[in-house]
Amino acid sequence: MTQTFGDNACHPEREPKQCHPERSEGSLRPVNEILRFAQDDSRFPRPARDALEQFPVAFQDDVSYTGVPGAAWAPGRVNLIGEHTDYNDGFVLPIAVDRVAAFAGRARSDGIVRLWSTHFQEYAQFSLEGLPLTFEQQSNTLPGWARYVLAVATELTRTGVRLAGFDAVVGGDVPLGGGMSSSAALEVATAQACALFSGGQFLEHGGGKPRHYYTRTGGSSHIVVAGLAPAMLRFAQQDNVEVTLTPMQVAALCQRAEHIASGLQSGILDQAASCLGRPGAAILLDCRSLAYRYLPFDTPELSLVVIDTRVRRELATSAYNERRKQCEDATRILRDVMMQHEPENEKAQAICALRDITQEQFHRYGPYLPEVLRRRAGYVIAEDERVLQAVKLLELGMIEEIGSLLWLSHAGLRDGYEVSCAELDTLVEIARQVPGVLGARMMGGGFGGCTINLVRTESVETLRQAVNQQYPDRTGLEAGFDICRAAGGPGNGWVSELGTPL
């Protein structure tokens, strides 16, 4: 659904020159001057700078703004290994990448949020008043992309955070629906935007002390850019009260937002990876305790290549939720069988996810499961082991050896978990024939999306050629080809009136 905002609405693509024709120099200059500084500020990711540039084109000063422009962003992710283990309380090894979802806008003095999507070339609007109760009703009137923004605002409101309205351009360079978690990036960027426009801040922790501090008192505004995770997200509230959320609290909140916005009963992998990103590092996350630690992943000789099948399937959400349910069923059956056979085993009673079942126990009790559940559980239990093996290899600096785990992971996802598809299998088969490709597998929920490929940098072009030559003939489709780097987590900041950071 496309919305416009009365006569004042501009369409940035169709009529850029006609925007703001009647505005005086006086009202035009400050924002444009401010935004000119932002264009040169390399601390804002490129999509945030682009969104800042679009902002005065997409929105006129037809409402009262309470501050200078600001931007917020959050990265997408790849997942090295640990697929469909997150909602089984298991382990994942994602990497936040150098692609972000970005907001640029200004805070309003009322409770309205207006958005312009550069991807979809459409406006959307909702009200913060009445949330969370009005979520369903408002969500039904919004285009899909805007529901994620509304959902995060709803979940923030549910935690007791008071938000201010804002107008913002929403853009970014995470391929949409392409397996790099564009929706999680949008959710986490929304939390950043809500904090910023509500007068909050993003506190970067470097050795315990925040390295940037932002204040809006006294009418001065400053850029605060946080490049390194983990960082606290702070929401300024009335009467000097503030709410501070840890990165994992933000991730969990955004995961809940994903559930209500899309109906996907996702785990926490995508949102956690986006919140915790660190340049040159992979993140080992224990999805039960939510403890995490970083492992170096910064080898110029190796590249992470993401290849997009360009296939998106509607059944992905229902099949995902079905897999989740099958894992829960398998857990329950295995626990009951173990309790019957080992009544003295106290640990058996405590089993509440596939994470709690060892390979040895599965070997012994797996045959009690119906065939399909046995395959599902077998894959998850083996994949958890593979994550821990990959961690050991990373610790030993043996990154190349991780490749063989990726091939095994794909075979398990294809045959045991049955979430692959012909196009994903084709990409993995093509990659397998290219010398210098150390490992490849489907990534994310499955049924389309991307593969992740660990490739010797010198072989990246050979892989690209092989995919270009073979994939269209075998599938009738053109694949997308992207090389990613491990990058930092989310951030936000005001554009200073002086063009200088604090």
| Interface residues toward ligand GLA, by CB under 6 A | 83-84, 86-87, 266-267, 269-270, 444-445
Q: Judge whether 193 and 207 are in contact, CB under 8 Å.
A: no
Comparison of 89 and 270: residue with beta carbon closer to ligand GLA = 270
Pick 157 or 266: Cβ nearer ligand GLA: 266
Indicate the SS3 state at residue 33.
helix
Of 59 and 447, CB closest to ligand GLA: 447
The residue among 198 and 266 lying less far from ligand GLA, judged by its C-beta, is 266
Q: Tokens representing 358?
A: 């060892």
> From the CB of 124, what's the least distance to ligand GLA, in Å?
23
Select 83 or 155, whichever has its Cβ closest to ligand GLA: 83
- Give strand ranges (E) for 272-413: 281-286, 292-296, 302-308
Minimum gap (Å) between residue 192 Cβ and ligand GLA: 19
For ligand GLA, give the closer residue by CB, 243 or 450.
450
Residues 6+ apart with CB under 8 A from 73: 44, 45, 47, 48, 100, 101, 102, 103, 172, 189, 192, 490, 491, 492
DSSP string, 235-280: EE-GGG-EEEE-HHHHHHHHHHHHHHHH-----SHHHHHHHH--TT
Instruction: Give the contacts of 107 (CB within 8 A, at least 6 positions apart).
Output: 65, 66, 67, 70, 164, 165, 166, 196, 197, 198, 199
Nearer to ligand GLA, 269 or 394 (CB): 269
How buried is 465 (Cβ within 10 angstroms: 0-12 exposed, 13-18 middle, 19+ buried)? exposed
| Closest C-alpha to 187, from 170, 205, 173, 202 | 170
Nearer Cβ to ligand GLA, position 84 or 147? 84
Work out how close the CB of 276 gets to ligand GLA at its nearest, in angstroms, rounded to a whole number. Answer: 14
Q: Which amino acid is at 418?
A: E
Eight-state DSSP code of residue 219: G
Plot region of 93 (φ>0 → left; ψ -120 to 50 → alpha; else → beta): beta
Q: Which residues pair with 32 in a beta bridge?
A: none
Cα dihedral sign for 311, 314, 317, 318? negative
**Smallest distance, Å, CB 37 to ligand GLA?**
37
Tell me the closest approach of the beta carbon of residue 73 to ligand GLA, in angstroms: 20
**107 neighbors 198 (Cβ within 8 angstroms):** yes
State the minimum distance, in angstroms, from the CB of residue 328 to ligand GLA: 14
**Distance from chain centroid for Cα 302:** 23
The token pair that represents 151 in the structure block = 């959902």
Phi-psi region of 391 (alpha: psi -120 to 50; beta: other; left: phi over 0): alpha
Measured CA to CA, the distance from residue 383 to residue 269 in angstroms comes to: 15
* Annotation says 270 is catalytic: yes
| Structural tokens at position 110 | 């009322």
Q: Cβ of residue 265: shortest distance to ligand GLA, in angstroms?
A: 9
Contact 125, 3 (CB under 8 A): yes
Burial of 314 (0-12, 13-18, 19+ CB in 10 A): exposed
Choosing from 270, 308, 356, 384, the catalytic residue is 270
Q: Which is nearer to ligand GLA, 243 or 440 (CB)?
A: 440
| Minimum distance from residue 443 beta carbon to ligand GLA (Å) | 8
Q: Cβ closer to ligand GLA: 447 or 471?
A: 447
Q: Provide CB contacts within 8 A for 48, sequence distance 6+.
A: 71, 72, 73, 100, 102, 103, 104
Distance CA 341, CA 173 (A): 53
φ, ψ for residue 228 (rounded to 5)? -110, 135
Just list the catalytic residues: 270
